[in-house]
Amino acid sequence: MTLTFNTLVAVSLVYVALLFAVAFAAERGARRGRDRWLRSPLVYTLSLSIYCTAWTFYGAVGYAARSGLEFLTIYLGPSLVMIGWWWTLRRLVRIGRAQRITSIADLLSARFGKSGPIGAIVTLMAVAGITPYIALQLQSISLSFAAFAQGMAGGRMAEDAGLVAIWTAAGLALFTVLFGTRNLDPSERHHGIVMAIAVEAVVKLVALLAVGVFVVWGLAGGVAATLERIDASPVPLWQGEGARWAGLILLSAAAFVTLPRMFHVMVVENEDDRQLAVASWAFPLYVLAMSLFVVPIAVMGLDRLPAGSNPDLFVLTLPLAEGEVALSLLSFLGGFSSATSMVIVATIALSTMVSNHIVAPLFLRGRPAEQSSRDLRRVVLLSRRLSVAGVLALGYLYFRWTGTGAALSAIGLIAFAGVAQILPAMVGGLVWRGATARGAGAGLLVGAAVWAWTLFLPSFGALPPEVHAAGPWGLDWLRPHALFGLEGMDPLLHSVLWSLALNTLVFLGVSLVTFPSPVERLQGEAFVNIFDSAVAPRAVGRGGGEAEELLVIAGRVLGQDAALDFFRREAEAQGQSGHLPDVTPAFVAALERQLAGSVGSAAAHAIVSQVAKGATVTVEDLMAVAGEAQRIMDYSARLEAKSAELERTARALREALGKLTRLAEQKDAFLSRISHELRTPMTAIRSFSAILREEGLRPEEVRRFAAIVEGEAERLTQLLDELLDLSIPAAGAHPARPARGAAVRCHRPGPGGGRGGAVRPPAGPARSGCRGDPGLHGSRPSGTGVHQPGLQRAQVLRRTGSGAAHRGASAGNRDCRGFHRQRARNSGRRARSGLRILRPPALCAGAGGARWGGAGPGHLPRGDGKAGRIRDLSARHGRGGLSRGAAAEACPGGRIACVVNGISTIFLPA
């Protein structure tokens, strides 16, 4: 059978059509719910095999032919990671499910407070790192076409590797756009793609094993003979490169978890821990099987093929040279599968990252939310399709730029070193709560810069030779392959060492000195303590988990106690014990109504339907909603506090108004009494004036009557004077209380014209103080130095009672009866002791004031016994009557205002 170039193209196209069919069938099955086996651990393990790209299929043999056993490092690192899944990947996968992570950029962005810049940095680094990797695949496909084309009747394409590469890239872009970016699935799971990859995984394994079996048993003649040939090989398998051995195992392990496509199939497409448990041994077994025949093929190829053949193509050219056309075709398909599956998944992963972390944030900037949410979907889909094409175009450009000379493994290792820069921030973020966004960003940027300078840029000759020789601007410590003077090292190891060391150092250092934002701290807690989280989805039995998730979310919205009560009530209504009811439609509806009371019906529906449908919703997703509810609750609490304060103020105002009203009433009553009092002397004056006008009065009668009129007029004037005085303190013109000393001294006649000179304050009260007859024992009332409105009123009353200061005694002296008795006993004049106690009417309206108003001064009996006793008392106790000290002693809290006519006037504060 002869193989033409067109046959080869036709076989490729049929194979691609088969993949399309598989992908379509899987997607249709998934839509109809027949996706059980799509989720099986076997399919998951096979999808992980996109780790084995054309680099493995073709490049491993080439690697082994050049460097011996070192090719194994690329598979040993990932094997160790998978075997230690309980330690490493379980946490990663759990977080990926709990946080609904869509890519590795999303993981870091989510961990560091949903940071936009971190996502963008990781995306750019991933694009830069994966570009050489995609170029590697395109190179391997064009190499394989070229290998077939040698000595074959072919078209123009066979001669031009670039043309093959560009058509391959175009076809891959079409497939990826069709299946990878057809819809925006919130879970970012692509059943069609995963299934196609699984099929490709089988094809490449079978192809490589077939070639291996052919080589070992067909060409070498059995296992023992093969081992003999290997022993006899001139290339030593162990070349003593210890540092590279350890370093590459580490590097491949790091790249295994940070490569965007590996992260996509391992974390994003993961369904449960069971898949991981099986893959923990099945994936290492797969890569072991892929590597099993690499050394025999390499040894046999070096043995049997002409010197100078490209060892990267031994897998293809060995069967071809032996005339096994069918086997070589199978081998070609295996290589094709390896390359295409990697490119498809890598471009999906990268396009998701580009659209989510670069295009969408730029699009959303400065747009109103309603408008953008409608357009966003369209924009994201478009940007994904464009970035698929863009990533493939970049890979093609890199491929054209580097030419086809470089070994496949060398290109792949550049990509590995690039994506490994994500590792420090990723591991730090998963295990250390102190990792901050600034630290991660700084570490990533430093690592990426060092990697680009020492490995990436030199890889495609972007740096001129003099920079390599003497460093940029003559700074020889910046030479790309001898950074900080570290010379003589393998360039790859040199780059990995410096970039990862500086990356880690900067990440840790900056994290230590910066302070994370609240969202960062919250996310850090959720990531680091993922296994303690109550809302972590469970591998088996989602029923309980749903109720628990609903409870947690309801607790955030309603408050923990209210939510627990509600759930317990519902559980009781369902006839269950405990606080977790079954998630029945009735219960969901009731809960939704309950939540709607707090956050509104739309939000409640969104919350409940998301959780109850079984989508993995984390608390963090709903933090925004719950946080808003919390803010509303805070706001209403503040409003409540304010309204309570207003109510208190209103109550105080009402009380003040009542007081004022009472005061006004009292004032009215007082004025009416006063006018009554004024009338009494006026009546006398009018009567005697009328008598005086009559004829035939005797002169002494006229004198007497005139004297009466004069006396009454004087009383009237006095009364008016005092009223005038009264009005001043009542208007609040001076302090209500005089000094104690002044009040006591006031009864002494002042030096000038009988005025109480010592009286304080001097203004109003001084005018009335001690005016008229200063004699304390006279029958006529004398002015006193009272300074209190209440006391002045008392004085007025006393005067209107014709000089007998008796009335108030009956009103106020009750308080001091004890004092009366005490003084009486002390002095031996029981019946003569007298004390008058007044309260200001405004302050004791209920007692003295009522009495005052009720009795009416005019009706009080004149000259009752008390007046006499008072005079006697004052006579016995000197001019001032009772001593101030004695009175104060008797009435604690009371204050003697003045003592007039033997009456001690004591002011009791209210």
Binding stretches for another protein (CB under 8 A)? 69, 72, 76, 79-88, 91, 227-228, 230-231, 233, 236-242, 245-246, 249, 273-274, 277-278, 280-282, 284-285, 288, 292, 295, 530-532, 538-540
Q: Which is nearer to another protein, 293 or 453 (CB)?
A: 293
Q: Which residues contact 521 (CB under 8 A, 6 or more apart)?
A: 113, 433
Rounded to 5°, the CA angle 46-48-49 comes to 65
Identify whether the C-beta of residue 137 lies closer than 8 Å to the C-beta of residue 361: no
Minimum CB separation of residue 409 from another protein in Å reads: 18
Minimum CB separation of residue 536 from another protein in Å reads: 9
Q: Which is nearer to another protein, 5 or 281 (CB)?
A: 281
**Residue with token string 């994966």:** 130
- Adjacent-strand bridge partners of 896: 906
Look up residue 908 and give its DSSP letter.
P
Q: Which is nearer to another protein, 284 or 334 (CB)?
A: 284
Minimum CB separation of residue 109 from another protein in Å reads: 22
SS (H, E, C) 474-496: HCHHHCCCCHHHCCCCCHHHHHH
Q: CA-to-CA distance for 893 and 910, rounded, in angstroms?
A: 10
Minimum CB separation of residue 314 from another protein in Å reads: 17
Q: Which is nearer to another protein, 433 or 780 (CB)?
A: 433
Minimum CB separation of residue 242 from another protein in Å reads: 4
Q: Is the four-CA dihedral 294, 299, 304, 305 of positive or negative sign?
A: positive
Q: Which is nearer to another protein, 88 or 176 (CB)?
A: 88
Task: Name the burial class of residue 184, with classes exposed (0-12), middle (13-18) and buried (19+) by CB atoms within 10 angstroms of its CB.
Answer: middle
Minimum CB separation of residue 306 from another protein in Å reads: 23
Identify whether the C-beta of residue 165 lies closer than 8 Å to the C-beta of residue 138: yes
Minimum CB separation of residue 540 from another protein in Å reads: 7
Q: Which is nearer to another protein, 240 or 892 (CB)?
A: 240
Minimum CB separation of residue 283 from another protein in Å reads: 9
Q: Which is nearer to another protein, 538 or 830 (CB)?
A: 538
Minimum CB separation of residue 233 from another protein in Å reads: 6
Look up residue 38 and give its DSSP letter.
G
Question: Helices 408-419 and 437-451 meet at what angle, rounded to 10?
Answer: 160
Q: Which is nearer to another protein, 247 or 447 (CB)?
A: 247
| Integer angstrom CA distances of residue 128 from 102, 139, 417, 449, 455 | 19, 17, 11, 11, 12
Minimum CB separation of residue 107 from another protein in Å reads: 17
> How would DSSP label each residue in 553-608?
HHHHHH-HHHHHHHHHHHHHHTT-SSS-----HHHHHHHHHHHHHHH-HHHHHHHH
Minimum CB separation of residue 551 from another protein in Å reads: 17
Minimum CB separation of residue 81 from another protein in Å reads: 7
Minimum CB separation of residue 590 from another protein in Å reads: 27
Q: CA-to-CA distance for 621 and 428, rounded, in angstroms?
A: 23
Q: Which is nearer to another protein, 278 or 713 (CB)?
A: 278
Which of 342, 305, 407, 463 lies closest to 59, judged by CA?
Answer: 407
Residue 273 CA, chain-centre distance (Å), reads 30
Q: Cis peptide leading into 361, omega within 30 of 0?
A: no
Which of 495, 493, 501 lies closest to 479, judged by CA?
Answer: 495
Q: Which is nearer to another protein, 229 or 793 (CB)?
A: 229
**Residue with token string 């493939």:** 392
**Residue with token string 């390359």:** 339
Q: Which is nearer to another protein, 118 or 535 (CB)?
A: 535
Q: Which is nearer to another protein, 538 or 642 (CB)?
A: 538
Q: Which residues contact 887 (CB under 8 A, 6 or more apart)?
A: 819, 835, 894, 896, 904, 906
Q: Which is nearer to another protein, 41 or 491 (CB)?
A: 41
Minimum CB separation of residue 313 from another protein in Å reads: 22
Q: Which is nearer to another protein, 145 or 286 (CB)?
A: 286
Minimum CB separation of residue 502 from another protein in Å reads: 25
Look up residue 57 and give its DSSP letter.
I
Amino acid at 720: L
Residues belonging to the chain:
910
Minimum CB separation of residue 488 from another protein in Å reads: 16
SS (H, E, C) 569-584: HHHHHCCCCCCCCCCC
Minimum CB separation of residue 640 from another protein in Å reads: 39
Q: Which is nearer to another protein, 302 or 766 (CB)?
A: 302
Q: Which is nearer to another protein, 234 or 518 (CB)?
A: 234
Which structure tokens are listed for 237?
A: 């398998």
Q: Which is nearer to another protein, 355 or 616 (CB)?
A: 616
Minimum CB separation of residue 95 from another protein in Å reads: 11
Q: CA-to-CA distance for 341 and 196, rounded, in angstroms?
A: 8
Identify whether the C-beta of residue 507 lies closer than 8 Å to the C-beta of residue 435: yes
Amino acid at 209: L
Which of 353, 358, 216 lies closest to 297, judged by CA?
Answer: 216
> How would DSSP label each residue in 658-717?
HHHHHHHHHHHHHHHHHHHHHHHHHHHHHHHHHHHHSSS--HHHHHHHHHHHHHHHHHHH
- Adjacent-strand bridge partners of 895: 907
Q: Which is nearer to another protein, 299 or 506 (CB)?
A: 299
SS (H, E, C) 449-462: HHHHHHHHHHHCCC
